[in-house]
Amino acid sequence: MKTKLVWFDPESVLTQVSSQPDFDRRLELSFKEKFEQLGNTVFHIHEQGCMCSRLTQTQRGKIDQLAQEQGTIVQTLSLSEQPWLRFWLPSTPAIVMFDETEKLVYLGPYSEGWLCNSANSLVESLLPRLSKTVGSIAIVHSQAKGCYCSANSS
């Protein structure tokens, strides 16, 4: 177990890349190449062997339940099985969410701090946006400190 909290984006790579005007579109196209359906979908992304992924299990279960209730598709992806995700994510565990029009709603960690839960998370509050066309700007949460494993260390 890690003894201190770490930055989700320690080198600020995601922060820099996500500030480019075409970031959302490029990410959406990258996912679209791999998955036929993006609309109203949540992608849980983890790395096998990452202790921090185990700490998100309760929160993932709650997200899955809320998603099911509103008809949202949920997929779980592993970096070892989907290495192309390392281009987009500096750390795991992470979540990527798309609305019904296949537009990015959120990319980033589940929450901040040692414990992943609804109290320190924005993810659950965004779930209702997935089944609607809200036309808002995507949230890319790269400046979080918590329990994360580097996506590029394996």
Q: 12 lies in a domain?
A: yes
Q: 153 lies in a domain?
A: no
Domain that holds residue 46: 6-147
Give the model's pLDDT for residue 104: 93
Residue with tokens 């192309």: 84
Phi, psi for 47 (deg, rounded to 5): -125, 130
Q: 89 lies in a domain?
A: yes
Give the model's pLDDT for residue 98: 93
Q: 154 lies in a domain?
A: no
pTM summary value: 0.89
Q: 57 lies in a domain?
A: yes
Mean pLDDT (the chain, rounded): 87
Q: 113 lies in a domain?
A: yes
Is the confidence at residue 151, as pLDDT, over 70? yes
The answer to whether residues 134 and 99 touch, using CB atoms and an 8 Å cutoff, is yes
> What percent of the chain stands above pLDDT 70?
88
Residues 62-107: pLDDT tens digits? 999 999 999 999 999 999 999 999 999 999 999 999 999 999 999 9
Give the model's pLDDT for residue 59: 83
Q: 1 lies in a domain?
A: no
Q: 91 lies in a domain?
A: yes
Residue 147 tokens, joined: 């329990």
Question: For the chain, what is the domain count?
Answer: 1
Q: Whole-angstrom Cα distance, residue 154 to residue 123?
A: 27
User: CATH no. for residue 84?
Assistant: 3.40.30
